[in-house]
Chain A
């Protein structure tokens, strides 16, 4: 397990709250999962990691719904998604680089790997980057992604399924061991309960934490011309101790 003599800089993940590595019906997981893992010795190499600042991103990167502030918006439901990045003790993590990407409102990614015949949207930026502020807060604007059919791996195969609308996020936290790559799902979607990827997380409460919250609107709809439907989502990164690695 991930422990060091210095104490517990971070604890091993609770496997019930993390997805299984292999998923029946998702062949890629069978090809790419090692049979076993080896004991990890935690050191200063895990307790340190790359650092980012707000200067590393441009303000327009927080708006995935259009290519630039003076360009038209992509089609779809305009949403705002905001939240905080916290550690396990609930402390905010500032200066986290968050990379975000997702499918357009019809369920098509801007990516050469996406073979889907679903239409592209020339105005959709589809990717964004933000850095958390001193309180660990972040916010993006985008259009709500569509669900999409996962193609069958072979002709006649019956292993495909529909992915629910989801937003991919990649987070660089305060150290290398806090690296998080995950997805955010939407409340009330009928596809959530049958998604092989979301439901690879055994613990029900942990699955529920993957779904963002709808925020009832609190301001006048006429305050601005392009009101977004608001959602909130906090991300919790591993780690909480400030244990220095000097007790070895």
Chain B
């Protein structure tokens, strides 16, 4: 978690009062007071999302709107995925690099007819804005940070579509995974995006904060919807092997090292960080992010020391938890490329004791309603 932003006043999302009323445990996260879990607890919330439907407040996320004739070219230049390949109404996952080819942030890119929306991590909003704004002039585009005026709820789980459909005239079955449309939910205008960070089917609803209160009530009142906190969000995304900025990826690694090569389109034309990635593509990467499991009752957590099979230090655990769905410890770490093979073993130091770990290819959980 980000602790750097603990200094100074913490912000609140428009749903803060809802969280408090539900008995949520509130923690500082990325400069916001966020619910880490509600009264039911992480396990129950996690299970609700895997089996039924959960509701997450992710309003802390940052949103930039990019306009101008060359908005697509601009976003293509500051991100690694191919924005030109996006259809109108399509979303993709991408990364923002610096000149060293390492990751400044991961993001979602939404293509509208007249604009692009980038969704970035809360802790990186100011940094990302400054980083990409340097190139705006050359492309003649305008970037607007609308983070504070947009509320965002993620309705996630196999039952999500069935729960949301009665609240909207939009035919949800017509929205494919990683596509979006503008429509109404409970009579309020919003962006209905079939995306999420859980591996389950679901929707993210971007809306003006003035509708937040009513939207929460409408969704919670719509059926079997369990409010879920950041704790469950983290265990759900880790079971899917999805990266968390600050843990699995940061500005010390490139997307090729972080198993995010699928987000890098080297043939699309020039973009920030490309020369380094061209070089790595040609000559290989020195290390790779891997998923691992380890023996029962050895939970490796963020920061625990990692050693290769022959005892060479290899950084620390990026993410680690007990998988609530699988009931086994899971995690991620970087290993030298030669060692980063499926089924290979290495060691993790847990409270002074080195225990064996095994490399496994994520996702750890393979039965999610959307992979």
Partners in one complex: no
Interface residues of A (CB under 8 A from B): none
